[in-house]
Amino acid sequence: MDEKRSRQVIIAGAGVAGLTAALAFAERGYAVQVYEQAQRLEAVGAGLQLSPNATRILRQLGVLDRLLPAAVRPEAVVLKDARTLRQLARVPLGQAGESRWGAPYLVAHRADLQSALMARVAEMPDIRLTLGGRVEKIATGSHGVTATVVIGGKTAEEQGSLLVGADGVWSLVRALVDSKRMASPRSRFSGELAWRATVAADSSAGPAFAAIGAVDCVTTFLHPGFHMVAYPVSKGDAFNLVAFTKGERIADGWSGHADPSILAAAMRGTAPGLVKLVELAGPWLTWPLHTVEQTQPWTTSNGIVLIGDAAHAMTPFAAQGAAMAIEDAAMLANIMADFPTDPMESLRIWENLRRPRIAKVARRGAVNRLAWHAAGPVAVARNLFLTMRPSGKLAADLDWLYGWQQQKIIRR
């Protein structure tokens, strides 16, 4: 493979994972071609919590300054009992969190993050982004990787040394990578629905939101039948609400409409202020939560790698899916650039380092889900534990997650 092609990276997907990977590789001197199947990058999704492990990387890649004008720095993460609205725990964020973890904890609209990433991508001459380009086939050989891409009904081929599958939970690259090894490399419906609504601060739901005391914090309301996370976005001009219940699979795809009586039934016994907010806050969109089994490979020995949701979509109960995509992307580019003489070994090192971290974060999400939906004596014990634990200790419990930084890797 010639010198130029050995530093050519092809990325399928321009979500958080793909755009971050494009920036990280371009920063390390690679030429990057990103293909995104959508004709336009639209404002898909709703709010995102971006913890310091992610914002530290966004700062290194020159994205943070572009995001800050639209984002909010919440004062704390707060847990409340949904029946009484009583505060159970408070982890200080704001300046205290930034000093502790070395980068800010932010909440933002997903579209604001995407715009900030795009603005930075536009400044990088070594990144080419093709919208309306769907990666459909991949071939590998001594020349490296060849992606067959369909653009406006026409087929084109792109060659590079590495193909990064950043094509999300319904990844085609995953199916291509794994079709021989796995009976079903598809994602799996988790049995949970996310209910999302965005409330304008000056709408009739704005005062109802203020009344539940969540305007400057990330607040999670706990209940056996559901939990709800509430926080400000868009510089405080709007509020993001996301509730989680059990539910039926709707279809493959991000969002749709479901029967709001499911949410109402799950909220039985909830404080009237929260019920009123949910009534005023509609329309609610539902998102079926899909996960990807972590048993399947993320890399191949011939230059294909999966990152972000394509590799390991997880339930959002630790609010870390986008953060893990950002960590994946930055670490991949760093390891590939630090050890350019054996790229396939670099891919293996990356996968071996990422797996335990991703598994631990996914486990944390599962524990959160169990604890937040606890009932009866278990809920009483949980509330006692949370109210007794000093906020400094609660913050220290999160050091492994929010304080994460890539370690220097020494290869012998």
Summarize as ranges the residues that interact with ligand FAD (CB under 6 A): 12-18, 35-38, 48-49, 134-135, 166-168, 172, 194, 242, 287, 289, 308-310, 316, 319-323, 325
Closest CA to 20 of 106, 117, 130, 123: 117
Please report how close the Cβ of residue 377 comes to ligand FAD at its closest, in angstroms: 30
Backbone angles phi and psi of 357, in degrees to 5? -65, -50
CB-based contacts of 184, cutoff 8 Å, min separation 6: none
Closest CA to 337 of 406, 266, 252, 279: 406
Please report how close the Cβ of residue 376 comes to ligand FAD at its closest, in angstroms: 27
Quick one: 2 or 42, whose CB is closer to ligand FAD? 42
Quick one: 35 or 226, whose CB is closer to ligand FAD? 35
Round to whole Å and give the CA distance between 347 and 298: 9
Round to whole Å and give the CA distance between 237 and 201: 5
Please report how close the Cβ of residue 4 comes to ligand FAD at its closest, in angstroms: 23
Please report how close the Cβ of residue 251 comes to ligand FAD at its closest, in angstroms: 14
Q: What is the 3-state secondary structure (H, E, C) of 217-254?
A: CEEEEECCCCEEEEEEEHHHCEEEEEEEEECCCCCCCC
Quick one: 237 or 252, whose CB is closer to ligand FAD? 252
Please report how close the Cβ of residue 77 comes to ligand FAD at its closest, in angstroms: 11
Quick one: 138 or 379, whose CB is closer to ligand FAD? 138
Give Cα 294 distance to the centre of its chain.
Answer: 16
Quick one: 89 or 108, whose CB is closer to ligand FAD? 108
Round to whole Å and give the CA distance between 277 and 270: 11
Please report how close the Cβ of residue 412 comes to ligand FAD at its closest, in angstroms: 33
Quick one: 205 or 311, whose CB is closer to ligand FAD? 311
Sheet containing strand 127-131, edge to edge, reads: 127-131, 31-36, 8-12, 162-165, 304-306
Quick one: 30 or 287, whose CB is closer to ligand FAD? 287
DSSP classification of residue 289: E
Q: Collapsing DSSP states into helix, strand and coil, what is residue 389?
A: coil
Please report how close the Cβ of residue 302 comes to ligand FAD at its closest, in angstroms: 19
Quick one: 245 or 320, whose CB is closer to ligand FAD? 320
**Residue 236 tokens, joined:** 């405080």
The residue whose two tokens read 């050091």 is 399
Please report how close the Cβ of residue 135 comes to ligand FAD at its closest, in angstroms: 4
Please report how close the Cβ of residue 113 comes to ligand FAD at its closest, in angstroms: 9
Closest CA to 307 of 6, 3, 13: 13
Round to whole Å and give the CA distance between 375 and 113: 36
Closest CA to 121 of 189, 185, 42, 26: 26
Phi-psi region of 188 (alpha: psi -120 to 50; beta: other; left: phi over 0): beta
Quick one: 46 or 379, whose CB is closer to ligand FAD? 46
